[in-house]
Amino acid sequence: MDNTSPVYVDTTQRGFYRFFGVMVVLLLLPPCTDAALYVLLLMPFATLLIWASGLLFGRLAMLLAALLSLYLAIYGFIALLKF
């Protein structure tokens, strides 16, 4: 995206690291029932995160966010199966 695009958003590296820092913290949740429920509650926002990361940071960040969201979905599903 160039500066003339109406959806161009000027971001900093700090915002980029903050976004992926939150995703990494979610990945470090302990594999217990509460963590699984939190993950599943956060999953409806995964689509928004994927769209926003693609808009703000480009296609590579969108791919990484999609992969992390898929991992969280699988993690939450497996944790719920451990009931």
pLDDT tens profile 58-81: 777 777 777 777 777 777 777 767
Q: What is the pLDDT of residues 49-60, one digit of tens each?
A: 766 766 677 777
Position 72: which residue type?
A: L
pLDDT at residue 71, as a whole number: 78
Angstrom distance (rounded) from CA 25 to CA 74: 16
Question: Any idea how long the chain is?
Answer: 83
% of the chain at pLDDT higher than 70: 27
Sign of the alpha-carbon torsion through 74, 38, 12, 5: positive
pTM of the model: 0.42
Of the candidates 38, 41, 12, 44, the residue with the CA atom closest to the CA atom of residue 25: 38
